[in-house]
Amino acid sequence: MTVTPTSRPPFNGGPPVCVPGTDSGQRWIFGFPGGLTAEVHTRGARLHGLWVPDRHGTPADVVLAPRDPARTADTARYFGSTVGRYANRIAHGRFSLEGEPYQLTTQENGHCLHGGADGFDTRLWEAETVHTPERTGVLLHLRSPDGDQGFPGNLDVTVSFLIGRDGELSFSYAAVTDAATPVNLTNHAYFNLEGEGAGDVLDHELTVDADRYTPVDEELIPSGDHRPVYGTAFDLRRPLRLGEAQARLGAGGGYDHNFVLSPHGGGILRRAAVLHAPATGRRMEVLTTEPGLQVYTAGQFDGSVLGKSGTPYRSGAGVALETQHFPDSPNRPGDPSTVLRPGGEYRSRTVLRFDTHR
């Protein structure tokens, strides 16, 4: 592993500490001695850093982020951010709801990606802290007005980032609305369990608890019904080295696909995936209440973003494991609904559980 300037956490326990920022808003640092330490920015409700001990107890920052915070406005826009109102893609930025057509702002190939041209990742969220003997962290709040990026209804959103003494980082989302609207939130962190800036993740092993996946066209829009993973490069039900998995996938820049978790639905927290770095022993178990997992292996990274350690991020520098509903669900009646209505409450929870494994 490459030891980088971000290898030691900038905090040693106690209540969350606020470090004033500039265009990135506030920086909140929190954690427990000897365990996890996180850095969260209020600009984009963004996980900027996460220090995790390896098998020898030595911590390293395992979350990718640009050295220059201004890059989160362009090529590093989604790094670690909370994306919404709708994570993933809505084809052509169009959908109909209760007989009314809606047109969203679009960007990538004329589609709406991660909530539109000015999504939640660009906003300045309001923060409050949580600190008890067993958990510590921040709650972030945002109001998205009616018509925001074309979505109907005023939406009030809360996301919490909480670290437990048991070595877990949890993301919890809640939202209410005054008019029916699609809602699909996730965190877009990229992980490298050998340490941010340590190279690529091709020697990491990935397991995904999914027996079906969503095929997509060349613009990453769903192209048909969910298909079985059996006999395909999408069969990750047993641990598989990412380099080997991508070799099976062939040309195309790696994974950027939705996996249909087994079982899914019901709002029950259950395992979705396990990521393991044999070189450091760090293992991250992903548990979620969501029905899907978008696996993105950063095949489009081209070295134009310098990471916190000063290392250029190239193809495969990290992997994103985005717990969410399925892409383009507002236009796919057979998928689990993403519609939130007045009087209801959107709830979603994802837990990252860390340990070490030889």
Active site residues: 188, 322
Upstream peptide bond of 85 is cis (omega within 30 degrees of 0): yes
Q: Nearest CA to 73 among 38, 28, 124, 26?
A: 124
DSSP structural state of residue 336: P
Separation CA 155–CA 148 (nearest Å): 9
Please report the DSSP string for 76-96 in residue order: TTTTT-EE-SB-SEEGGGEEE
Give the number of residues written for the chain: 358
- Contact 209/262 with Cβ under 8 angstroms? yes
* The token pair that represents 217 in the structure block: 């066209």
- 14 to each of 18, 67, 130, 190, how far by Cα in Å? 12, 26, 11, 27
Separation CA 157–CA 154 (nearest Å): 10
* The token pair that represents 310 in the structure block: 């000063």
243 class by beta-carbon count within 10 Å (0-12 exposed, 13-18 middle, 19+ buried): middle
315 class by beta-carbon count within 10 Å (0-12 exposed, 13-18 middle, 19+ buried): middle
- Contact 354/52 with Cβ under 8 angstroms? yes
- Contact 163/136 with Cβ under 8 angstroms? yes
CA angle at 104 for the pair 102 and 109, rounded to the nearest 5°: 130
CB atoms within 10 A of CB 297: 28
